[in-house]
Structure 1
Amino acid sequence: MERKLYDAAVQGNKLLLINLLEEDAVLLDRFITGCYPETPLHVASMLGHLDFVNEVLARKPELAKEVDSRNSSPLHLATGKGYLGIAKSLLQVNPDMCLVCDIDGRNPIHIAAMKGHLGLLRELVDARPWAARLLMEQGETILHACVRCNQLEALKLLVDRVSDHEFVNRQNHDGNNILHLAIASKQTEVINFLISRTTINVNCANEDGFAALDLLSQNQRNLEEKEVAESLQRMGATHAKDKPLSDSQLKAIRTKILSFTCGQSNAMSSKSKKRRNKDADRVEKKHNTLMLVASLLATMAFQAGVNPPTGLGKDNSPTGSSATKPNPTERFYLLGLDTYNTFLKSNTIGFLTSLSIILLLVSGLPLHRRFFTWVLTVFLWIAISAMSLAYLSSIFAFVAQHEDSAKGIGVGISVLAWIGLMLLLLLGHTIRLATKLIRCRLHIPGSA
């Protein structure tokens, strides 16, 4: 049934409307209580079907205040199309719809002025004159809208009927009054009208500090514009730079400078804080890595200390009898006193150094500086080197037990390669640390 009613509104078929309402008396009520993107009255008002609109308003005048999905009333749509008769019918039912703004912040009077529908504009202003004084987006008045749309006649009508000195000189959010807009868009007739027929402030400065004469000087290209400039000067217009600043303007300038300075300072502070946070996260990740590696090394050293290498369980006695078989520790000890001592010392150093790293990290001391992180890293190198030496001592013992010279040469090369790598890393990091310390001492940029 609603679909048929929409079709009737599109066609403007008043007879079909009457027949549908005879079949369903509450059909129009459902458009008030329900949720529809638009009502049949919207459709008929937009298409200019006056008889259909009058029939709907006679039966259900409440529909005149319903709005569509863009918050537009039937009066908005009729005004936009310039349908004077429909607008009059809607105004008779509910003149307060002149005050309702659509999704773009415009009421029917704004639309009539922007479209240049003078007859409609008179009817709407007569119905609700204070609706013309409602502000639009960006703090603009209906006079700003007339200038933007180059509607001089609508501007004249509104100046005569609803404006006063304050309304004519009202500035938008950019500080521009209607004279600024007229000069910027080179509307000579509008400029001459404002100068001769209104109390426009010719020396008003916008947010950029430009008065009307400043804008005209920038755009002055032909004789007609020069005549406008002369007219402005006769009205007492001056350049903004020639006009002394008031106390309020000076205060505003100081406020802007202060806010800009504070903004710059806050931006720098924010960058510094982000950099510090990033450094702290990097140090924290490195500390977690140190803790993990040190724990693994300590576990390895503990296991090797309580269970020394056994030479693969090889029996070192001449007879191999159980009566003369030494225990595992003795077996490793018998392979060489020096080798056993080296293993014991290296394993102990690795174990204690790893425990020292763990103890320092869990102690709660402020170890977040890069120097202390470097110190902990050096400790870790010592622990790794000590555990490596303990491992190599065990391998030497095994090689010595089997008297395998080829294996001994291979182990020796491995030891030399490892020592060379550790020395190279130690030298590189030492040079890096020394360079940073020198830069910090000499205050050279890039030391951070």
Structure 2
Amino acid sequence: MDHNLRDASEQGNIDALYSLIAIDPKVLDKIDEIPFVETPLHIAAAEGQTQFAMEMMMLKPSFARKLSPNGFTPVLLAMHNNQTQLVRELLAVHKDLVCAQGRGGMNPLHYAVKTGNLLLLGTFLGVCLKSIEDVTSLSETAMHIALKNEMLHAFQLLVGWLRWAVFKNAAFWGKRMLNWLDLDGNSVLHIAASKNEPQASFFHCVLY
């Protein structure tokens, strides 16, 4: 990426962005042609430059699903850098970004579960509940991730949404996720039992 564009993205300088576009109207198109690339949106997301990121979303919405060479979407990078407000602003434009999977098949909901960020987890479930159906490249559901990382509050929040949320085939998906096996052949209840058997019994009662 041109260093002037990188600087503009890091600093959130929208005027500089348009000056660069005036010099080379295809400057953003050239970046978009690359399958795996760090876009100006990735940089702005990591730096918390919300206004610049929203401008970039308007100009190049395709950047929002681009994977960087390290396998991260702009939303995932923002989460890694604790840019919570920027994450919310991006989702306000495109709710389905909650389902955009990056490295390891992780989507933003998976990452919120892994880190125990209940505020973002609740936001993600509210804007795109179907993201709970996604599995990682290790065939892990969000519930697997919660228990493997001992994020019990996140697990309970997921259970609550699956139990009470009104969407088509909710009961079917709840049972399917409980019985889903990761690549090691473990279901959610297997993992709970390996961590602490009394907890496994509690979860079994809650879920059924």
Considering the TM-score relative to the shorter chain, is it more than 0.5? yes
Note the 1:32-47 alignment, pairs <5 A.
32-34=32-34, 37-47=37-47
Q: Which residue of the partner structure matches residue 134 of structure 2?
A: 134
Instruction: Give the Cα–Cα distance (whole angstroms) in 2 for the partners of residues 16 and 73 of structure 1.
Output: 24
- The structural deviation recorded for 1:19 is 3.3
- CA–CA separation in structure 2 for the residues paired with 1:134 and 1:36: 22
Instruction: Look up the SS of the partner of 1:104 in the other structure.
Output: helix
SS at match of 1:92: helix
CA contact (8 A) 1:72 1:103 kept: yes
Please give the secondary structure, in 1, of the residue aligned with 2:27.
coil
Structure 1: gaps (5+ residues): 200-448
**CA distances 1:75-112 after superposition (whole Å, capped 9, x unpaired):** 22223334232222322333333333223121221111
CA separation of 1:45/1:158 partners in 2, compared to 1, >3 Å: closer, same or farther? same
Q: In structure 1, what is the Cα distance between the partners aligned to 2:151 and 2:64?
A: 28
Q: Is the 8 A contact 1:82 1:117 kept in 2?
A: no
- Cα distance in 1 for residues equivalent to 2:51 and 2:206: 42
Matched, 1:165 2:169: no
Change in Cα spacing, 1:3 to 1:155, as seen in structure 2 (3 Å) is: same
1:194 aligns with 2:177: no
Cα separation, 2, equivalents of 1:99 and 1:66: 13
Q: Tell me the C-alpha RMSD between the 2 structures.
A: 2.6
CA distance in 1, matches of 2:179, 2:20: 54
**For residues 13 and 147 of structure 1, do their structure 2 counterparts lie closer, same or farther at Cα, with a shift above 3 Å needed?**
same
Kept in 1, the 8 Å contact 2:35–2:66? The answer is: no
Residue number in structure 1 paired with 2:62: 62
Residues 186 and 127 of structure 1, relative CA distance in 2, 3 Å threshold:
same
Alpha carbons 2:36, 2:67 under 8 Å: kept: no
Q: How does 1:223-262 map to 2 (within 5 A)?
A: none
Contact preservation (8 Å) 2:31, 2:37: no
Q: Does 1:182 align with 2:198?
A: no
The runs of 5 or more residues in structure 2 that have no matched partner are: 163-172
In structure 2, the residue matched to 1:112 is 112
How far is the alpha carbon of 1:151 from its aligned partner?
1.2
Equivalent position amino acid for 2:85 in 1 = G
Find the aligned partners of 1:179 and 1:16 in 2 and give their Cα distance.
54
Asked if the contact 1:48/1:86 (under 8 Å) is kept, the reply is yes
Cα 1:36–1:180 change in 2 (3 A) is closer
Which residue is equivalent to 1:125?
Answer: 125
How many residue pairs align between the two structures?
198
Residue correspondence of structure 1 range 92-103 to structure 2 within 5 A: 92-103=92-103
Structure 2 Cα separation of the partners of residues 139 and 103 of structure 1: 13
Matched residue, 2:149: 149
Structure-2 change in CA distance of 1:35 and 1:65 (3 Å): closer
Please state whether the residue corresponding to 1:166 is helix, strand or coil: helix
Q: Taking every aligned residue pair, what percent have the same amino acid on both sides?
A: 28
Between stretches 155-164 and 7-16, larger displacement belongs to 7-16
Structure 1 segment 176-325 matched on structure 2, within 5 A:
176-186=186-196, 190-191=199-200, 193-199=202-208
2:185 maps to a residue whose letter is: G
Structure 2: how far apart are the matches of 1:137 and 1:35?
20
State whether residues 146 and 154 of structure 1, in contact with CA within 8 Å, keep that contact through their aligned partners in structure 2: yes
TM-score, structure 1 normalization: 0.40
| Contact 1:64–1:74 (8 Å) recurs in 2 | yes
Relative to the length of structure 2, the TM-score reads 0.80
Please give the alpha-carbon distance, in whole angstroms, between the structure 1 residues aligned to 2:109 and 2:80.
10
Partners in 1 of 2:158 and 2:152 — Cα distance?
10
Measure how far apart 1:36 and its partner are. Answer: 6.1
Q: Structure 1 residues 187, 92: CA separation in 2 closer, same or farther (over 3 Å shift)?
A: farther
Q: Which amino acid aligns with 2:179?
A: N
Task: Work out the CA distance in 1 between the residues paired with 2:18 and 2:115.
Answer: 34
User: Secondary structure at the residue paired with 2:105?
Assistant: coil
Please give the alpha-carbon distance, in whole angstroms, between the structure 1 residues aligned to 2:202 and 2:29. Answer: 50
Which of the two has higher C-alpha Rg?
A: 1
C-alpha contact 1:61 1:93 (8 A) present in aligned 2: no
Say yes or no: does 1:8 pair with 2:8.
yes
Q: 1:82 to 1:157 in 2, by over 3 A?
A: farther
Partners of 2:35 and 2:156 in 1: CA distance: 41
Cα distance change, pair 80–193 in 1 and its aligned pair in 2 (3 A): farther
Cα shift readout 1:391-436 (whole Å, capped 9, x = no counterpart):
xxxxxxxxxxxxxxxxxxxxxxxxxxxxxxxxxxxxxxxxxxxxxx
Alpha-carbon shift at residue 192 of structure 1 (Å): 6.3
